[in-house]
Structure 1
Amino acid sequence: MFLNSRTPQLPTREQALTGRPEPAFAVPDRHTVLGNPLLGPYPEGLEVADFGMGCFWGAERKFWQLPAGVWTTLVGYQGGYTENPTYEEVCSGRTGHTEAVRVVYDPRVTSYGRLLRTFWESHNPTQGFRQGNDVGTQYRSAIYTHSAAQAATAEASREAYQKVLTASGHGTISTEILPAEGRAFYPAEAYHQQYLDKNPAGYCGIGGTGVELGDPFETNWGVSCPTGIAPAPESADQ
């Protein structure tokens, strides 16, 4: 990961790198922790959620460590224009992609709301093109939704989290919430997949605000200010 002193700017489609019609590298068959295939098609009944929350090494680990319901995770590039990009191309700032985590989960065991809680509490969504010391458009906060239900839940959770962030002295959420349709997810190189399982002492650039969103099973998002939310007395980036 890198630190760039210039103010990052997203490229337009015309400014973005062209990319290539086929991937430039192979992706491992199976998850090193969960043991399941990384790439689809996935078993019937499973659903897909896509999140951008800074450096995808630490972000992916947050989801595979959930106690139940996550079938597989993989990291990649999403939200931009360049087809089948490489890591170096994404780091150039000329693809429009953000570093993303794809979470394949069983909605009979866990909920999209539970994944959203992990998303919001595991990074600082108010920092724009940055996460901690990592600066660049590829570190922006994003949710790419796969259904109208996901979109509605994501929007309601953003509204709920903004209320407690504001009450705790934090700024405005910059997270983009957009349909995954038309925003292809391109898996990252093999060495990025489950990086912190293979390198337990490796770099992890994400850190939450310390403000909690509360349990989605007890929270009625979108109706009133949610209950079960406890702001931390002090926030800090990791």
Structure 2
Amino acid sequence: MQGYQRVHDCIQTERITPMKSTAYFATGCFWGAERRFWQIEGVLETSVGYMGGLTANPTYEEVCTGKTGHAEIVKVDFDESKVSYQRLLEEFWTMHDPTSLNQQGGDIGTQYRSAIYTTNDSHHQIAINSREVYQAVLTEQGLDLIVSDINRSEGVTYFLAEEYHQKYLIKNPKGYDCHSSTGVPYPAVVVSP
């Protein structure tokens, strides 16, 4: 792998060459979401960027206008022999409010929408199933319907965000970390494709 580092840059542990899978998640502001994902054992690497819009190579400033159509995205490379896609989805559903349309806390705009971009058929079905499971729990708690989009990543370009956004909360430990969770845990169930 080009650019593959032998030591994980966040947790400073030795790496071995894994079976790598990729997931893309939009949960509002990408800074805090990236940290939540990089802390999961089995996650190999994270980065933040933009996806789902019409403009090629958008800048942060352009995305923030809401005119490019992009969402702020966390790209998660993970070893499926150590962490399941289902586990990443459980983190996704509970780290933000998936019932909030185009807003997470004080962050408002389509760039803060909730979305999943799946990379294969199995992951797509697991994502749909996990949404149904979490919706049942939210409904039981009297909460609104999930508005998160579940899309296939095929044909959708991931644009890496500017360097200062990468691992932002390592560079700025007291930096902004907006995540407006529902406070409802994901139920302990197994979701299969």
Provide TM-score, normalisation by structure 2.
Answer: 0.91
- The residue that corresponds to 1:160 in the other structure is 133
10, 22, 38: which one aligns with 1:64: 38
- The residue that corresponds to 2:22 in the other structure is 48
Name the CA shift for 1:35/1:186 in 2 (closer, same or farther; >3 Å): farther
Moved >2 Å (runs of 4+) = 28-32, 220-223
142, 157, 166: which one aligns with 1:184: 157
Provide TM-score, normalisation by structure 1.
Answer: 0.74
Structure 2 unaligned residues grouped into runs of 5+: none
- The residue that corresponds to 2:191 in the other structure is 221
Distance 1:155 1:165 in 2: 15
Distance 2:59 2:174 in 1: 24
**What one-letter code is carried by the residue in structure 2 that aligns with 1:208?**
S
73, 76, 80: which one aligns with 2:46: 73
1:74 alignment partner, SS class: strand
Higher-Rg structure is 1
CA deviation string 1:124-179 (max 9, x = no partner): 00111101110000000000000000000000000000000111111010000000
Whether contact under 8 Å (1:32, 1:194) holds in the other structure is no
Name the CA shift for 1:89/1:60 in 2 (closer, same or farther; >3 Å): same
CA deviation string 1:79-102 (max 9, x = no partner): 111111000000011110000000
Name the CA shift for 1:29/1:138 in 2 (closer, same or farther; >3 Å): farther
Work out the number of aligned pairs and report it.
186
Question: Matched residues, percent identical?
Answer: 49
Whether contact under 8 Å (1:32, 1:197) holds in the other structure is no
Q: CA RMSD in A?
A: 2.0
Name the CA shift for 1:110/1:44 in 2 (closer, same or farther; >3 Å): closer
2:86 alignment partner, SS class: helix
- Are residues 1:198 and 2:171 paired? yes
- Are residues 1:128 and 2:101 paired? yes
CA deviation string 1:64-116 (max 9, x = no partner): 111x1000000000011111100000001111000000000000011000000
Q: Give the number of the structure whose residues are more often helix, by fraction.
A: 2
Whether contact under 8 Å (1:160, 1:222) holds in the other structure is no
Structure 1 unaligned residues grouped into runs of 5+: 1-27, 37-42, 224-238
Q: Give the number of the structure whose residues are more often strand, by fraction.
A: 2
Distance 1:128 1:119 in 2: 15
Query: Relative contact order: is structure 1 or structure 2 higher (C-alpha 8 Å, sep ≥ 6)?
Result: 2
- The residue that corresponds to 1:208 in the other structure is 181
Distance 1:220 1:29 in 2: 32
Distance 2:35 2:159 in 1: 19
Distance 2:136 2:187 in 1: 12
**What one-letter code is carried by the residue in structure 2 that aligns with 1:182?**
G
1:207 shift after superposition: 2.6
1:204 shift after superposition: 0.8
